[in-house]
Amino acid sequence: MPIKNNNFNKAKALLEKAGSKTAQKCHPAHTKSGDVPDRHGESLIAEADAENISADILEKARKIMKI
């Protein structure tokens, strides 16, 4: 199920704040009304997990993106 752009950007910002280099390099979704494929959100979470971002932050990001 697609992720709302606004939710993707919120989760991306959360992961950036937590220190994810991948999230920092990732481009934001450009419009507030569109969607991002869910695989982009899942990939962002997986890469942040590989960077040892805390499980609590990863779970918050998943909830924001509803994945």
What are residue 4's DSSP bridge partners? 35
Domain count, the chain: 1
In a domain, 30, yes or no: no
In a domain, 53, yes or no: yes
Residue 38 tokens, joined: 């869910």
Q: Please give the DSSP secondary-structure letter assigned to residue 59.
A: H
pLDDT digits (tens), the chain, 67 positions: 899 999 999 999 999 999 999 999 999 998 767 899 999 999 999 999 999 999 999 999 999 999 9
In a domain, 10, yes or no: yes
Q: What pTM, to 2 d.p., does this model score? A: 0.91
Helix (H, G, I), strand (E, B) or coil at 9: helix
pLDDT of residue 51: 98
Is the distance from CB of 34 to CB of 43 less than 8 angstroms?
A: no
In a domain, 40, yes or no: yes
Q: Please give the DSSP secondary-structure letter assigned to residue 29.
A: P
Range of the domain at 40: 3-25+35-65
